[in-house]
Structure formats: structure tokens, C-alpha cells
């Protein structure tokens, strides 16, 4: 409990003791009416002054029909008709429910804050030959960080010295540490578990992964679900209506039948019952809990509107590279007897030396040795064909069949699945290299889990060759595949699929968030895969998976449906109980005690149910 909550608890305990003393005192002693009133006014003032004060302040600012107003009118009215004990007891139980609500909401917020406690407190920076501790926001790009075991990585960067294991649980939800060594990238928010790392920063703090994630979580509350907006609008209409009904109940029946005190008591009971606290509190708390539970599993959802939309997932569209496949290529060299495999890879890697294309990077990585740039000259990149360069004085051409036809080489066809790179040396065919993208071992299970969650269609869109795309789709059991698509073609296909879904169904697009930003924005829900450190993913996507495990798409759908189920349970339960007690109060079959349960009791039960949204089981 915080200081405010402890103070509320003391007020409740003291007021309860004074209430018991007042009840016993009025029974044992014959006080005048004003003495009885004074004995109950003391505990009422102690426990209700805050509620009365808020009712006045909110009324001045135009927020008349809220729970404070209802409680103030109901309890003051109870005093007016001589029901002193019930007036104090209603206010006492209201404050107990209010305290319980504060504790429950605080627990939820604390749980989420703990899960997302990734903000670094300091950074150790090498400056002028010494290591100084500074605020992460003061570190510039290119400075060297020293990260000791147990410390949090303060900014994104590249390891220039040392090796270690990183705890990425707060970011990805995965308990297995991730190993890093020289030349590998590290992201802010991870915890260094073992050796000392020297890291050169690649981003300022404001652009780092941890800053973007924190901003995303902090802003998620602004994107409310349709259900939340409905409850807010409903409460604005519902409360004035029930207040009007209470006024009618207090005035018109006694004008006909008399017994003003009885009908006023029923109207006050009606008011206490009608308070919409259970709905106004529990619905946002449920969505808040769902967002927090998803964050705990490494699934960042930008708002409860997207959380709610996930529950109606009908079509899931995948990008291929980096989503269902690793995006890191395996290289296989195939060559005539005139040249060895290592020579073929060396020539190709040298020709591709100055290119940053993923295929070029894979070829250089496959060669695995240091390359001498002085051996390469006159490198020319031919759009849609490949690369031409002078290597060791020989003209080397590396590319597709179009390039081979252009140089007049008698190239050998290849029937293996993958991207085929042909190589010539001085116009003589030297061989070809097959580059294949490895399918993630989790992808097939991810597709199966989606079907188990009721997803009607799974589609893959890729810019890769038809043979490659169809082979991947067959292996994973996807329903459809469209190949050789440019980004604009992917957008057109997604728009076609949007027209084919049911009115309430939602289309999800899952991509790597770098090349697929237009499609991520066009889908009902855009999901960025493997988005650690990707600005494009965090900006364009509605949901960000903090690792590259496609199975978490199904987990996100499960979380959304569970959260929505909890919200509906609270709505039906709260409205059902309130409606029953309102009707009973109107005909005199429910007293103030039943009204207290319909308000405070229902709120407590709804809040307890809402907290379940935080506890996510895979």
C-alpha cells in the first residue's frame, strides 16, 4: 500500500469503530434526536468528506452524474429521512470498495511496470582514457560503452570487444539467454549476464529500442477499444437516466399514495444501486491487463483497439523472408571440374565486395575469409541482372540468366529450389551458386496454431521466384501463395483479400517491418516480426513481436480472445445484478444493504475478474 491507501485504511477502521459505538450508544442510551444525529455524523464526516468534496468539485466543473454525486445524494438523503446507520454504512462500504479498486489497479500497473522495467539508469562511457557514468541521453553515436556483468545495456550498438550472454526476458519474454560476441549487434534494455562488453553505440538514446518500446507502451492507453468507448458513452447516458428515474420514484408515487419517507428511501436505494462503477472501472482494467499480459510474453500491442481486433482474426497474410524464413541464406556452389568450389566462392565474393545486398552479404559470409579489396576494380551493378567486376585482372560476371545471355556464356540450368547465381570468368562459364533461405523450425507449428485458433485462411506474399514460394507454402501447409510481387503488388493483393473477408472478420498482415511498411499500414492489424531495433516495424505495425517466433501470432490472438471474454463477463454480470436490484428497489423488495452489494460488491467481483487478464498461460 502507498501512503494515500494507508490513510484511507486508517479512516475506514476508525470510522467503522465510531459507527459501531454510535449504534450501541443509541441503543443503550436515550439521546435526543440531535445527539443521535451527531453520533453518526462524526464517522460519516470522517469517511465521507473526500467523496462529498469530489462531488462538489466535479459538479462545479460540469461532471455532475458520477459515482461521487450518486453517493453524496444517497447518503445525505438517508440522513434526511432519519436512516443514520445506513447512511454511514453505505459510505463506509463505498470507501472500502474504492480502496480495493485503488489497490487492484495499482497492482496491475505495478505488474506491467515491472515487466517493462527496461529503462537504463546510467551508461558507463569511455572518455579521455577513463570510464565515466553518465545519463544515457547524454551519450553520442559512436562513443564506446563499457557494460559489466549484471548491468543493463543502455543504448543500441555493436560489440567491439568481449563476449557474453544477454538476458532478453523483458523484451522478448524468452527465458533463454542470447549469446553475443565481437561484431554482433546488441539492443538497449537487455541485461549483461557474464563477461565485460565494449560496445560502440549506433543510435542516440531517443532513437534506441528501449526508448521506442517505452513510448509505445505509454501511448497504448490512448487507443481505446470499441467496447471501452461504448461503456464511456453508455455511462454518460445511463447515469442521468437513472437519476431521473430516482427523482420520479421519490415524487410521483407518494403524491398518489402518500408515505413520502418510504418512497424517498426506495429512490435513494435506487441511486446507490445504479452507480456504474463496476463497468467504468473493470472494462478498461481488463484491456489494460490484457495489454500487460501480452507485453509479458514479448508481444507489444499499441492499444486496446488492436487487442480487440485480434479476437476477430479471420485471414492471416505472411511475408516470407524474415517472417516464415530466417532471412539468412545458405550457399551451395555447383561448378564444372575446371574450377574448385572454394575458387568459385572466392571469385564471387570478391566481385560482390562493394555490394550491401542481402545476397551479396550471404556470399561473402559463405566464403568465410578476409577479402582483399585491392584485387577488385571497375565494379558495375547491372539492374535486374547482377554484377560485373575486374578481379585479379579477369572480368568476372555474377548474376542471373539474363546476364549470362548478355555476355554470351553457355550457362548450365539448375533445377534446385532457390536463387541461382551464375558466374563467368572472361566470358567462360565457371559454375553457379544456389542460395536458399532456410525455413524457421517454428513456422509450421505457427500455421497449425492459427488454424486451431479459428483462422480461416493463411496466405503468403513474396517477391521471390514462383518455385521458391510454392515450395515454402507446401512445406508449411499454407492455403495460398502469391509470388514475384513488388511492394505495390503486395498492397493490391491485401486489398483484394480485405474484400473477401466477412464483415466482422479481420485481416492480419505479418511482415519484417522494413520492406513491408505499406502493407502493414493497409491491413486491419499489422504485425511486425523480429522487430528488435527496427524503426520501420515499430512505426508501421500495430503489434510488435519482440522476437522472430511466428507462434506468438497465435498467442496474441489467444490473449485478445481471453481478454474480450473477461470484458463481456463483467458487462453481463454487472448489468444483470444491477437491473435485478434496481427493479427490486423500485417495488420495495431491496433495501440499502442490497444496493451496497449491487454497487461495491459487484465492483469488487468485476475487478477481481479483470485482474485475470494479466495472467497469461501459453
- The tens digit of pLDDT for each residue in 493-534 reads 999 999 999 999 999 999 875 567 788 888 999 998 865 545
- The answer to whether residues 263 and 81 touch, using CB atoms and an 8 Å cutoff, is no
Residue 334 has pLDDT above 50, yes or no: yes
> 459: which residues sit within 8 A by CB, 6+ positions away?
315, 316, 317, 318, 478, 479, 480, 481, 482, 497
Could you report the per-residue pLDDT of 258-271, keeping only the tens digit for each?
Answer: 888 888 888 888 87
Pairing mode of beta strands 123-127, 130-134: antiparallel
Q: Quick one: pLDDT band at residue 354, thresholds 50, 70, 90?
A: confident
pLDDT for res 480: 95
Q: Which of 156, 319, 464, 547 is catalytic?
A: 319
Q: What is the mean pLDDT of the segment spanning 472-488?
A: 88
Strand (E) positions, 111-217? 123-127, 130-134, 144-147, 157-161, 164-167, 178-180, 185-186, 191-192, 197-201
Please state, as a whole number, how many other Cβ atoms lie within 10 Å of the Cβ of residue 177.
16
Could you report the per-residue pLDDT of 424-476, keeping only the tens digit for each?
Answer: 988 888 888 888 778 888 999 999 999 999 999 999 998 777 888 888 899 99
Nearest to 149 by CA among 137, 162, 132: 162
Domains along the sequence of the chain with CATH: 3-113+221-287+562-614 (no CATH), 123-154+156-202 (2.70.150.10), 299-324+440-546 (3.40.50.1000), 327-438 (3.40.1110.10)
Is 482 assigned a catalytic role?
Answer: no
Could you report the per-residue pLDDT of 576-609, keeping only the tens digit for each?
Answer: 888 898 888 888 888 777 877 787 778 778 878 8
Look up residue 602 and give its three cell numbers.
459487484
Which ranges constitute the DSSP H helices of 116-223? 169-172, 209-219
Can you tell me the distance from the alpha carbon of 451 to that of 316, in angstroms, rounded to the nearest whole number? 10
Q: Quick one: pLDDT band at residue 223, thresholds 50, 70, 90?
A: low
Residue 572 has pLDDT above 50, yes or no: yes
Q: Rounded to 5 degrees, what are φ and ψ at 36?
A: -60, -45
Look up residue 481 and give its three cell numbers.
501463395
Q: What is the mean pLDDT of the segment spanning 288-303?
A: 82
Q: Against a cut of 0.75, is the pTM above it? A: no
Q: What is the mean pLDDT of the segment spanning 288-308?
A: 84
pLDDT for res 220: 57
> How high does pLDDT run on average in the chain?
83
- Percent pLDDT > 70 in the chain is 87
Q: Which of the residue ranges 56-60, 382-386, 428-432 would you say has the lowest mean pLDDT?
A: 382-386
Q: Which of the residue ranges 38-47, 141-150, 285-294, 457-466 would you say has the lowest mean pLDDT?
A: 285-294
Residue 486 has pLDDT above 80, yes or no: no
pLDDT for res 533: 47
* Edge-to-edge order in the sheet of strand 394-399: 325-334, 428-439, 419-425, 394-399, 386-391, 376-382
pLDDT for res 153: 92
Amino acid at each position: 500500500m502507498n501512503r494515500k491507501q494507508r490513510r484511507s485504511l486508517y479512516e475506514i477502521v476508525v470510522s467503522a469503530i465510531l459507527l459501531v459505538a454510535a449504534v450501541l450508544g443509541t441503543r443503550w442510551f436515550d439521546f435526543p434526536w440531535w445527539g443521535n444525529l451527531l453520533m453518526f455524523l462524526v464517522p460519516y464526516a470522517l469517511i465521507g468528506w473526500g467523496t462529498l468534496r469530489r462531488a462538489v468539485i466535479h459538479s462545479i466543473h460540469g461532471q455532475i452524474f458520477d459515482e461521487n454525486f450518486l453517493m453524496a445524494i444517497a447518503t445525505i438523503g438517508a440522513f434526511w429521512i432519519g436512516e443514520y446507520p445506513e447512511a454511514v454504512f453505505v459510505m463506509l462500504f463505498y470507501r472500502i470498495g474504492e480502496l480495493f479498486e485503488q489497490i487492484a489497479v495499482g497492482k496491475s500497473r505495478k505488474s506491467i511496470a515491472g515487466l517493462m522495467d527496461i529503462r537504463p539508469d546510467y551508461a558507463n562511457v569511455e572518455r579521455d582514457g577513463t570510464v565515466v557514468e553518465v545519463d544515457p541521453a547524454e551519450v553520442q553515436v559512436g562513443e564506446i560503452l563499457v557494460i559489466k556483468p549484471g548491468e543493463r545495456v543502455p543504448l543500441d550498438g555493436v560489440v567491439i570487444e568481449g563476449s557474453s550472454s544477454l538476458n532478453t526476458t523483458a523484451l522478448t519474454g524468452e527465458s533463454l539467454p542470447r549469446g553475443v560476441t565481437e561484431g554482433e549487434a546488441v539492443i538497449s534494455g537487455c541485461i549483461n549476464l557474464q563477461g565485460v562488453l565494449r560496445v560502440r553505440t549506433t543510435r542516440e538514446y531517443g532513437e534506441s529500442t528501449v526508448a521506442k518500446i517505452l513510448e509505445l507502451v505509454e501511448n497504448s492507453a490512448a487507443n481505446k477499444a470499441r467496447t471501452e468507448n461504448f461503456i464511456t458513452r453508455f455511462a454518460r447516458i445511463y447515469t442521468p437516466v437513472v437519476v431521473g428515474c430516482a427523482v420520479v420514484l421519490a415524487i410521483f408515487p407518494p403524491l398518489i399514495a402518500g408515505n413520502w419517507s418510504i418512497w424517498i428511501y426506495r429512490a435513494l436505494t435506487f441511486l446507490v444501486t445504479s452507480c456504474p462503477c463496476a463497468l467504468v472501472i473493470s472494462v478498461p482494467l481488463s484491456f489494460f491487463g490484457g495489454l500487460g499480459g501480452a507485453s509479458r510474453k514479448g508481444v507489444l500491442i499499441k492499444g486496446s483497439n488492436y487487442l480487440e481486433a485480434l479476437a476477430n482474426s479471420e485471414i492471416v497474410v505472411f511475408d516470407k523472408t524474415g517472417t516464415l524464413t530466417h532471412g539468412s541464406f545458405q550457399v551451395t556452389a555447383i561448378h564444372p571440374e575446371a574450377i574448385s568450389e572454394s575458387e568459385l566462392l572466392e571469385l564471387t565474393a570478391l566481385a560482390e565486395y562493394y555490394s550491401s545486398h542481402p545476397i551479396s552479404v550471404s556470399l561473402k559470409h559463405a566464403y568465410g575469409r578476409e577479402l582483399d579489396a585491392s584485387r577488385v576494380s571497375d565494379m558495375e551493378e547491372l539492374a535486374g541482372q547482377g554484377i560485373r567486376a575486374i578481379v585479379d585482372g579477369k572480368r568476372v560476371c555474377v548474376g542471373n540468366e539474363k546476364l549470362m545471355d548478355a555476355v554470351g556464356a553457355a550457362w548450365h540450368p539448375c533445377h534446385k529450389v532457390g536463387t541461382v547465381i551464375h558466374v563467368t570468368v572472361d566470358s567462360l562459364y565457371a559454375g553457379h551458386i544456389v542460395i536458399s533461405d532456410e525455413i524457421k523450425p517454428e513456422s509450421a507449428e505457427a500455421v497449425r496454431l492459427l488454424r486451431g485458433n479459428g483462422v480461416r485462411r493463411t496466405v503468403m506474399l513474396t517477391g521471390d521466384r514462383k518455385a521458391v514460394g510454392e515450395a515454402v507454402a507446401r512445406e508449411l501447409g499454407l492455403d495460398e501463395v502469391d509470388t514475384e510481387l513488388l511492394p505495390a503488388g503486395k498492397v493490391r493483393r491485401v486489398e483484394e483479400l480485405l474484400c473477401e473477408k466477412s464483415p466482422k472478420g479481420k485481416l492480419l498482415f505479418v511482415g519484417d517491418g522494413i520492406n513491408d511498411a505499406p502493407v502493414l499500414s493497409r491491413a486491419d492489424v499489422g504485425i511486425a516480426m523480429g522487430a528488435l531495433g527496427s524503426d520501420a516495424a515499430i512505426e508501421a505495425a500495430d503489434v510488435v513481436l519482440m522476437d522472430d517466433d511466428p507462434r506468438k501470432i497465435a498467442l496474441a490472438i489467444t490473449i485478445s480472445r481471453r481478454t474480450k471474454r473477461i470484458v463481456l463477463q463483467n458487462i453481463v454480470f454487472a448489468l444483470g445484478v444491477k437491473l435485478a436490484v434496481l427493479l427490486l428497489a423500485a417495488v420495495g423488495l431491496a433495501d440499502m444493504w442490497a444496493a451496497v452489494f449491487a454497487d461495491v460488491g459487484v465492483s469488487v467481483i468485476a475487478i477481481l475478474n479483470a485482474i485475470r487478464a494479466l495472467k497469461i498461460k501459453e
